[in-house]
Amino acid sequence: MKQNLKDLTLPELETYFERLGEKRYRAKQVFRWLYQGVDSFDEMSDISIALREKLKEHAEITVLKIVERKISKQDGTRKYLFELSDGNMIESVFMKYKYGNSICISSQAGCRMGCIFCASGKDGLARNLSVGEMVDQILKVEQDAGEKINHVVIMGTGEPFDNYGNMSSFIKIINDKHGLHIGMRNITVSTCGIIPKISAFAEDFPQVNLAISLHASNDAERKKIMPIANKYSFDELLITCQKYTDKTGRRITFEYTLIAGKNDDIKHAEELASKLQGLLCHVNLIPMNEVSELEVKASSKPKVQQFLKKLQEKHIAATVRRELGSDIDAACGQLRLSKITL
């Protein structure tokens, strides 16, 4: 099988070139071309024709195919549907903020976490994305939108900590100054709370922002909406978060999607505030986006405001997330594996 060059970090590409009997610095030249968005060896003009031919024989540069794009009239958000080489579909969302352009990328085709309010997990996991498939979401969106992306959130379809190895190489490539040169602090990873990987992440990427989907104020309630809570308890999760902040000195973002009648009562806000007291964190309240096939309903606006007020009263830093792209089903939880939503 041919080696997809976009799956390799720069040190890995250098080793690969050595194995092909080539000089390491050639790897850097090729790496630069790849992340300038070049998809064919023939466009790599400072690489000899002989080496290009050799690369064609042993390696390949796979690319994602844009199947469909939707552009929000409300705020310019763009949602992309990509087809992978095996026919699976994934989505990415491009968003414009005052501070720059951001992309929300997928880490898996489908998801096996099964959170009851999320459309991405409805059909289970198809497979992990390769490193190249993750990077290519950025390259293709930059090309299509004609704009540079400077913030990356791994918050699309999939659980990034369920694909930890590929996620790690992805972060290294986009951070590399010869790659996309996106600062570690401009990258955010969102997880449903896979504890061993949170600890590994604190060691491996202390500068990358960590967001944790909490969505409940205690263990029993969390188990009702997030199956992962059966594996890792609420208390264990918060202990791990404390260790994370002790080690990294970085604030954790807790995502809390407000679901009518499940987790949006004032008593939940009080309980949450007491559990998070003293932890270096920020709570991001997410008004739930209703997904037609799912039973759960969104909390009302006054409920959301009341929840926010209670957290703030208890001195917990909290904000309500502004939803972009809701007119094109691009908001959280609305990314779907299948083409039918488009």
Dihedral of the CA atoms 97, 142, 130, 340 (nearest 10)?
Answer: 80
Listed in sequence order, the residues at least 6 apart from 15 whose beta carbon sits closer than 8 Å to its beta carbon are none
Which of 16, 33, 117, 164 forms a contact with ligand SAH (CB under 6 A)? 117
Are 216 and 270 in contact by the 8 Å Cβ rule? The answer is no
Residue 299 in 3-state DSSP?
coil
Site string for ligand SAH, 206-245 (x = CB under 6 A): -------x--------------------------------
Task: Return the residues of window 145-174 that contact ligand SAH according to CB under 6 A.
Answer: 155, 159
Positive or negative: CA dihedral 20, 168, 338, 152:
negative
Helix (H, G, I), strand (E, B) or coil at 230: helix
263 near ligand SAH, judged by CB under 6 A: no
Q: How far is the CB of 65 from ligand SAH (least distance, A)?
A: 23
When the beta carbons of 108 and 175 are compared against ligand SAH, the nearer one is 108
DSSP state of 321: P
Instruction: Say if CB 170 and CB 103 are below 8 A apart.
Output: no
Residues with catalytic function:
91, 332
Q: Quote the least distance from Cβ 125 to ligand SAH, whole Å.
A: 11
Helix (H, G, I), strand (E, B) or coil at 186: helix
- Which range touches ligand SAH (CB under 6 A), out of 3-11, 21-29, 186-194, 196-204? 186-194
* CB of 113 or CB of 252, closer to ligand SAH: 113
Position among 286, 308, 316, 318 found at the interface with ligand SAH (CB under 6 A): 286
Q: Which is nearer to ligand SAH, 3 or 218 (CB)?
A: 218
Segment lying near ligand SAH (by CB under 6 A), choices 60-68, 109-117, 142-150, 165-173:
109-117
Of the residues 7, 12, 255, 329, which one makes contact with ligand SAH according to CB under 6 A:
255
Interface with ligand SAH includes 288 (CB under 6 A)? yes
Residue 145 CB, nearest distance to ligand SAH (Å)?
22
The CB-nearest residue to ligand SAH is 333
Q: Alpha helices of 151-259 — where are they, by DSSP H? A: 164-175, 195-204, 219-225, 234-248
Contact 207, 185 (CB under 8 A): yes
User: Which CB sits closer to ligand SAH, 252 or 291?
Assistant: 291
Q: CA separation (Å) from 321 to 151, 245, 287?
A: 17, 23, 7
What is the rounded CA–CA span in Å between residue 87 and residue 95? 26
Q: Which residues of 306-333 are buried (b: 16+ CB within 10 A; e: fewer)?
A: ebbebbeeeebebebeebbbbebbbbbb
The residue (of 316 and 335) whose beta carbon lies closer to ligand SAH is 335
- Residues interacting with ligand SAH, by CB under 6 A? 113, 115, 117-118, 155, 159, 190-192, 213, 255, 257, 286, 288-289, 291, 332-333
